[in-house]
Structures are given as C-alpha cells and as structure tokens.
Chains A and B, each alone.
Chain A
Amino acid sequence: MAVEDQRGTDSRDNSNLPSTFSNLVYLHWRPYRNSRAYRLASVCTRDREVNESTPATAAPLARLIDELYKLPGIGPKSAQRLAYYLLRMPAAEARALASAIVEVKERVTFCSVCQNVTEVDPCRICTDGQRDRTIICVVEEPLDIMAIERTHAYRGLHHVLHGAISPIDGIGPEDLKVSELLQRLRSGEVKEIVLATNPNLEGEATAMYLTRLLRPLGVLITRLARGLPVGGDLEYADDVTLARALEGRQEMQG
C-alpha cells in the first residue's frame, strides 16, 4: 500500500518537471547547437514552440518549420521564413524540391573505387577512359574533388578519405578510407599519389601518415604546394606560408 502511494506521487512529480524546466531553459539560456545540452533542451523548446503556435499555424506548416529547423545554420526565425516561402511557391517547384531531396537519399551512394559520392558505381570519373589512370589525387571530402575539378588542371583519378586524422578527437587512420586506397595501389598501375589534404594541422598529419605508409610501395608521393593565395597581401602572410612560398619560388616565364 505504502509503496504504491509513493509510486503515484513520483510519477506526478515527473510529469510536472519537464515543462517547468523547459520554460526556464527557453527564457534564460540558449546552449550551443550540437551540444548535448542543446539537444536535450531543444526537445522541450521545440515542442513548446509548436504547441504554442498551433492556434495560429496549421499543423503541416508547423511540421515543416520543425524539419527545416533541424538543418545546420537555420534558426527558428529562418525556419519560419523558409516555410512560408515554400508555402507560397508554385506547386511544381515545391514538388521538384521534394523529389530532389528524396532522390538524393535514394540514388546517391559512395563509389566503390574512389569513395566519392555517385549515382552509378563505379563513378563517372573512375570509368572515364580519357583520364590518366597512373595518378591518384587524395582528398579529405567529396567537396574537395569539386574544387579540384573546377580548375580543369587535373586529369587523373581521385580518392576520398572522408575525414582527416585528428588524434585529439579520437579519429585515427582506421576511421578513414585508407585501406581502400592501399587496395587500389596493389595493381601496380598507379605511379603517383598527390596528397591534397587541407594545409592545416589535421591535413598535414594525415599527409605525413600516408607518406610513411605508402613509401615502401615505391610510388611517387607528392604534396600540393603551399604559398600565397591570389588576392592576398604579403605583409599579412604568416611565417610558415611565406617560408614555403620562398622555398617553392619559380622562374618567371617569358
């Protein structure tokens, strides 16, 4: 009897607690996105916002706002603005957007050879007969391939690692597509590896690690040059970049 009583009061207390807590959180404290506290708090605040706006907002619209709010860089107000924009959009355009999102999730996969995002496996770059198959450019993210392709200066193949070594965050070589790269080198067709990881600490660490790993295989290992950016000022260049730019200076042509 006594035990049951206690249980009864407990559950009542618990049901009261979250709503009071969420009010407090919402008024006085906005934690960073992606933090655990944010996710915990946002569960409460989001429910509250939706519930509160229900009389004024139609339920499907509230749901759309809620979904848009989950996107990176979108706050509650941007989510509302976007939702109302979508509402006024011609139906055909809205349907095109919706089907594009669905299609991306259903049809795009990773290329089994270069690990780039693709709709056909192996991807178009890997199957292109015009390309130089003896050279592989190693990048961190699929976006980096787009940047390199935009230059029209590279005609070889690519390999995406999907990240960079970051010991402090516990990301080691085993979390990257390194073994897949080794697999590709096994055929002996490849003569050169271009390390095009980002010129920051993690990218450099990854490049050094790969160099050490690949050197015994006897392929030529090159690294993208570092130097002054187009449109930059010499006086603002840091020592490391400037030193590299001096090291890699080139004879003027013409």
Chain B
Amino acid sequence: MPAPRMYKTEAIVLRQRRFGEADRFLTVFTPAHGKMDVKARGVRKTTSRMSGHLQPLTRCVLSLARGHVSDVVTGCETLESFQPLREDLERLSRALYAIELIDRMVPERVHGFPTYRLLTETLRRLSEAEDQDQVLRFFEMRLVDQCGFRPELEVCVGCGSALEPVENFFAPLSGGVVCRGCVGGLTGTRVLSVNGLKVLRLLQRGSYNDVVRVRMDGQLADEVERHLRSYIVTVLERDVNSAAFIERLRREGARQAVEV
C-alpha cells in the first residue's frame, strides 16, 4: 500500500528558517518519522493562523501533505507551549542548547520514540526545575547513549581492568575513562575525580529522580559539565553554538552579582 498523501503526527519544532516571500522551513522532531524538514506556507504574514503554533520549542500536532522535496504543513495545533521557557533567559538558553543537540545528533527520518520522550520530559523539567544545569547533564548523558555513543565508565578503555576508586582520566577520543597507567600518549584527556566518576555513572544508570536527589557543589558540577561537553564536542566533531550563550549569561550574571 502506498503511503497516504496526508498524515498527522505529533512534533516538537526545533528551528525555523525563512524561505521565499512569507514561507518558512521548519526542522521538526517527531516520534515516528524522526527529525525532518517541513515547509510551512505563508506563516510570516500577521494573519497566518498557524505561525503561533509553529514557534520553536512548541509541542504540537501537525497535519502534513507529502511534497516533492519536503512535506508541507496544512494544519497544526499546540499541545504544549512550554511558556516558562520563553519568559526566562536562563531557562530559554538551556532549552535552546537541548534543541541544538537534538538537531545535530539525531539522524534525519529515523524514528526515535525514546529520544522524543527524553526531549519532551527535558523541556518540561527545564520549565520547572530549580537547577536547570542538572537537567541538562541528565539529558546529555541519555542522548549520547540513545544515539549510540554510550561512554565507558566501568572499566578502563585502555587495559580493560575495572576502575579503582582513585583519580582517573576522562578521554573523550577513546570513548570513556582511562586509568593512570594507560593515560600516557593519549590527547585531550582530563583528570576525573572520584566523585566526578560517581556522578557520571549515576547520570548513565540512574533515573531522573535519583539524579535530582544529588546535590553537587559548584566545582563538581563544573567538572561534570566540562567532561560531558568535551565528549559531545568529540562525538559531533564541532562546537555547540548555544553553549557560548549560556557561558555568557553566567559570566554577566556573576559580574552583576559582584556589582550589587
């Protein structure tokens, strides 16, 4: 049976770019069809009935018609607009980071039910959580896992022996943790503290509820963030753009706190 000409799907809008006079190309992430580009006609006019439902960071139901190059949006309705994310720059910058990671990591047109659920839950958590960075760490670890880049945290990737509870090294290029004996000659490695390894393991194996129960001090949170970031940059083979904006907000926030 040929695929139907019209179909409906749930989707999260990742990003949009202008096209033609009043059209937009949207990158959306759907559970059954994965990430794909769709065309939305006339949504840049103020009288458009759809534009409000197609903003990035919206979970909505899309009616799509199959087109030659990309499918065309014929109707849509918002399910969740994650309003708190849009009203707070801190939350917004983190949500954009999550969206960018999905956009870069997930292949096109490959179904991704678990990843879709992960993204939905992450956006909800970012709307509510006190510590949004912790939400992001959990999201990052789960995402690399689901994309097939699970880092090795149990045994040394050099010699294969179980890791001792001492200071080890995180080696993104080798895909996991190496012990003191194997670290020589590897590039891009960073010291991984005992507590850092514990947190990374918890992020990999524990549920979200386990993770939020852990209170990390600033230094430990910083270490975990740096390790995960270096791993993601290694996997993507490029920088994550929105990370720079989070950094900037942090720097300026700190400066303002000093002035006050």
Contacts and interface: CB of A to CB of B under 8 A. Distances in A.
Contacts, number: 68
Interface stretch (B86-94, B158-166, B169-177): B86-94
B45 to A, nearest CB: 9
Contact of B55 (A173, A201, A236): A201
Contacts of B56: 201
Interface residues of B, number: 34
Contacts of B57: 201
A229 B245 contact: no
Interface in A197-254: 200-201, 204-205, 208-209, 212-213, 216, 229, 231-233, 236-241
B100 A172 contact: no
A212 B53 CA distance: 27
A208 B89 contact: yes
A238 B86 contact: no
Contacts of A10: none
Interface residues of A, number: 27
A129 interface: no
Interface stretch (A39-47, A100-108, A113-121, A161-169): A161-169
Interface in B47-98: 47, 49, 52-53, 55-57, 78, 81, 83, 86-89, 92-93, 96-97
A169 B241 contact: yes
Nearest to A72: B20
B96 A238 contact: no
B49 A236 contact: yes
A237 B96 contact: no
A216 B256 contact: yes
B242 interface: yes
B15 interface: yes
B52 A238 contact: yes
Interface in B228-253: 241-242, 244-246, 248, 252
B46 interface: yes
B86 A239 contact: no
A170 B241 contact: yes
B100 A239 contact: no
Contacts of A55: none
B143 to A, nearest CB: 16
A200 B55 contact: yes
Given A170-B241, A229-B46, A231-B47, A240 B89 contact: no
A172 B78 contact: no
B136 to A, nearest CB: 14
B53 A238 contact: yes
A209 B253 CA distance: 11
A168 B52 CA distance: 20
A22 to B, nearest CB: 21
B99 A168 contact: yes
Contacts of A233: 49
Contact of A167 (B21, B245, B259): B245
Contacts of B225: none
B133 interface: no
Contacts of B88: 208
A237 B20 contact: no
Contact of B86 (A73, A165, A168, A201): A201
Contact of A238 (B21, B81, B89): B81
Given A73-B21, A169-B241, A239-B78, A232 B86 contact: no
Interface in B112-149: none
Nearest to A235: B49
Nearest to A226: B52
Contacts of B223: none
Nearest to A73: B20
Contacts of A167: 93, 96-97, 100, 241-242, 244-246
Given A200-B55, A233-B49, A237-B52, A168 B96 contact: yes
Interface in A145-188: 165, 167-170, 172-173
Interface of B: 15, 20-21, 46-47, 49, 52-53, 55-57, 78, 81, 83, 86-89, 92-93, 96-97, 99-100, 103, 241-242, 244-246, 248, 252, 256, 259
9 nearest A-B pairs in the assembled complex, by CB-CB distance:
A238-B52, A167-B242, A236-B49, A167-B245, A170-B241, A229-B46, A208-B89, A168-B100, A201-B56
Given A73-B21, A232-B47, A240-B81, 15 more contacts: A167-B93, A167-B244, A168-B99, A169-B241, A170-B241, A172-B245, A201-B86, A205-B92, A205-B93, A208-B89, A209-B89, A229-B46, A232-B46, A236-B49, A239-B81
